[in-house]
Copies of this chain bind each other. A is one copy, B any other.
């Protein structure tokens, strides 16, 4: 039972390795009629692209996505969309020494244990290279979310090492603010210090971790399916499926563990209008019930795992890059002790390039659940009309 497929109503399947000819995605379930071109995918691909700044890896990839199906005369047809991103800069000679050696912190050993063999070049399938097609597919999910429900997704770096950004209102952060600096942190002072720390770490032949915050605004209430496909469950699955993520939380997160209920609960209050002004009637709206909001958002936009209409706020702990240019102790396939230093190109801190990856997974989860909820609402509305004889 393999694991390269994600989602239910919007289903992404991927294939590809770090140093094979290409990475490929099939995105199935995009509704018909969405205006779409390869250009729509490029902005996020450029944000994920290696070599984009002095604090990222210097691998050279143009990362131009080709759409091979599912789009006709500029709009989606409703059928499966195939996306291909060629690998260009496959300097696999860099990896010759890794054929027999397990890099600490990488999946070299675990892939070998699992399969008994592996493509050792750049980590093969375990490389973050595979996220390139996730980001492409995520860009489609974002566009769909925007067109259908006015949902907006923005991610940014919340902390690097011990430098914390101050973000008073997560839902107000704009893409422009995020993209205004190379570390993708909307707090300019913190950004400066983060960049310094990253350069410092690189000089030390070391690497840094950090926290990414991902925010979705405009999500209507009612998304998520009890009891296993809760919105928070699928965010958990999607975000943990990204390389280097060691922790995921939303709302007050681990901080809630130290609070009392009276401190952590968000009280409800009447709302002038729906918090997410999407014009989409929820099942509750269709039933003639007024909108509701919470006074605070410690619940991070989800209650019982279902969206509340308040902004969804998630955070990921991203570990420091495992590849280090310094020598580390390790073992070889034959069991002999050795040392390894990564000569290849790698990021001294994954966070800046993680942001589009995190956003992509959030978008894929939300678009999936938005489409799923369409069925519930359309059916519920018809049954309600039947019941009340309005038809």
Tell me the bound Cα distance from A254 to B212 in angstroms: 11
Q: Interface stretch among A14-22, A48-56, A169-177?
A: A14-22
CB-CB < 8 A to A337: which residues of B? Answer: 269-270
CB proximity of A121 to chain B, nearest CB, Å? 8
Contact, CB under 8 Å: B375 / A125: no
A240-B235, A241-B228, A318-B257 known; A247 vs B246 contact (CB < 8 Å): no
CB proximity of A30 to chain B, nearest CB, Å? 8
Within the complex, which residue of B159, B265, B335 is in contact with A292, where a contact is CB–CB below 8 Å? B335
Q: At the interface, yes or no: A106 with Cβ under 8 Å from chain B?
A: yes
A102-B292, A248-B248, A306-B107 known; A387 vs B35 contact (CB < 8 Å): yes
Nearest neighbor of A162 in chain B, beta-carbon distance: B258
Contact, CB under 8 Å: A329 / B267: yes
A110-B222, A376-B31 known; A68 vs B24 contact (CB < 8 Å): yes
Contact with B along A358-391 (1 / 0, CB 8 A): 0000000000000111111111101110110001
CB proximity of A114 to chain B, nearest CB, Å? 4
Q: At the interface, yes or no: A188 with Cβ under 8 Å from chain B?
A: no
CB proximity of A23 to chain B, nearest CB, Å? 7
Contact, CB under 8 Å: B1 / A254: no
CB proximity of A312 to chain B, nearest CB, Å? 12
Contact, CB under 8 Å: A374 / B375: yes
Contact, CB under 8 Å: A333 / B289: yes
Interface residues of A in 237-289 (CB under 8 A from B): 237-241, 243, 245-270, 279, 282-287, 289
CB-CB < 8 A to A109: which residues of B? Answer: 221, 268, 292, 303, 308
Q: At the interface, yes or no: A40 with Cβ under 8 Å from chain B?
A: no
Contact, CB under 8 Å: B3 / A303: no
Within the complex, which residue of B259, B302, B320, B383 is in contact with A320, where a contact is CB–CB below 8 Å? B259
Within the complex, which residue of B14, B29, B106, B114 is in contact with A373, where a contact is CB–CB below 8 Å? B114
Tell me the bound Cα distance from A230 to B323 in angstroms: 21
Nearest neighbor of A339 in chain B, beta-carbon distance: B267
Nearest neighbor of A114 in chain B, beta-carbon distance: B222
Most chain B beta-carbon contacts within 10 A, residue among A22, A289, A324: A289
Within the complex, which residue of B3, B31, B104, B303 is in contact with A379, where a contact is CB–CB below 8 Å? B31
Contact, CB under 8 Å: B249 / A80: no
CB-CB < 8 A to A104: which residues of B? Answer: 265-268, 294
Q: At the interface, yes or no: A186 with Cβ under 8 Å from chain B?
A: no
CB proximity of A180 to chain B, nearest CB, Å? 23
Contact, CB under 8 Å: A317 / B254: yes
CB-CB < 8 A to A374: which residues of B? Answer: 374-375, 378-379
CB-CB < 8 A to A257: which residues of B? Answer: 159, 161, 209-211, 246-247, 317-319
Within the complex, which residue of B80, B233, B305 is in contact with A2, where a contact is CB–CB below 8 Å? B80
A84-B84, A304-B107 known; A228 vs B6 contact (CB < 8 Å): yes
CB-CB < 8 A to A335: which residues of B? Answer: 270, 289-292
Tell me the bound Cα distance from A304 to B309 in angstroms: 34
When A and B form their complex, which 4 residue pairs have the shortest distance between CB atoms, in order from nearest?
A107-B304, A3-B229, A3-B225, A236-B236
Additional A-B contact list (16), CB under 8 Å, known A68-B84, A79-B115: A2-B10, A2-B29, A77-B124, A78-B117, A105-B299, A109-B221, A110-B307, A111-B306, A113-B306, A211-B254, A246-B300, A253-B317, A257-B318, A264-B319, A265-B324, A270-B337
* 7 A–B contacts from the bound complex (CB under 8 Å): A3-B230, A17-B77, A72-B124, A113-B283, A115-B222, A204-B260, A270-B336
